[in-house]
Amino acid sequence: MSAPERIEVHGHRGARALLPENTLAGYLYAIQAGADFIELDVLATADDALVACHDPVLRRRIYSGPFGTRVVRRMTLAQLKEWDCGARRNPLFRRQSAAPGARIPALTEVLDLASRDGFSFNIEVKTVPKRPHLTPSPARYAELLVALVRERGLEKRVLVQSFDFRVLACVRALAPEIPASALCGFRTREFVALAAAAGVSTVAPYHRAINSRRVSDAHDAGIRVIAWTANRPRDWERLIRAGVDGIITDDPAGLLCHLGRR
């Protein structure tokens, strides 16, 4: 596999540099900016609705809602919808605007964005292996997710990623036609071994774990490499030179400009 002709731009949690994470407004911004993928996190409610949310236990720093449980898996979808996920700006992103009134989207609402062309969905399935009560089992997650993707005929527009390779195995077993990607952190084994362990042909390492030798070894073995989460031009440039296939970024418009695509 040679160097990619076009680097995929994945809008991390939509476009977190500018809009609250995992909101429809953030996803729409990324789509309109021209991102190739919107990246989102997925959890499940007590009534098994998949929702776009990163935090199994909602952080009051970002989410505002009623007194009571903050555990997504203990709330029904209707209860979760009482929470606002846009009113509080994330202080880590100084250019981020608030979007008061935004609600945590059901995955169905996010997939409805597929009526717009030109982008795909990078869906990260969240688990906390040491706290299994916070999420469905890997098998149940796979069933719920695959059913929604198939119902909408989106198999060719979805990439499923997870740090939890059990989830990837269940998705692959149920729906081998849906591509899957193995997330990993800074301390990772070599990418080819990682892909083999996860049974996938795409790996998504933390961007600082990436260098050109590792990418070239991966490409020689037919493995794609998508970096997360790089937000600075100097990191983008290093990853471009390393030959990555895609970059997950909180600033998809900025990366598209950097690539000369805006």
CB of 67 to ligand G3P, least distance (A): 27
Nearer to ligand G3P, 117 or 247 (CB): 247
Distance (Å, rounded) from C-alpha 159 to C-alpha 198? 14
Nearer to ligand G3P, 37 or 83 (CB): 37
Structure tokens at 8: 């995929």
Residue of 36, 39, 84, 251 interacting with ligand G3P (CB under 6 A): 39
3-state secondary structure of 175: coil
Nearest to 187 by CA among 208, 164, 173, 216: 208
Told to check if 53 binds ligand G3P by CB under 6 A, we report no
- Residue 135 in contact with residue 58, Cβ under 8 Å? no
Write the binding mask 105 to 144 for ligand G3P: x where contact by CB under 6 A, - elsewhere.
Answer: -------------------x--------------------
Distance (Å, rounded) from C-alpha 245 to C-alpha 48? 34
Neighbours of 238 (CB within 10 A): 18
**Catalytic (active site) residue 12:** yes
Nearest to 112 by CA among 56, 151, 55: 151
Told to check if 22 binds ligand G3P by CB under 6 A, we report no
Residue of 8, 22, 30, 41 interacting with ligand G3P (CB under 6 A): 41
Instruction: Give the residue numbers annotated as catalytic, written as ranges.
Output: 12, 54
| Chain contacts with ligand G3P (rule: CB under 6 A) | 12, 39, 41, 54, 124, 183, 228-229, 248
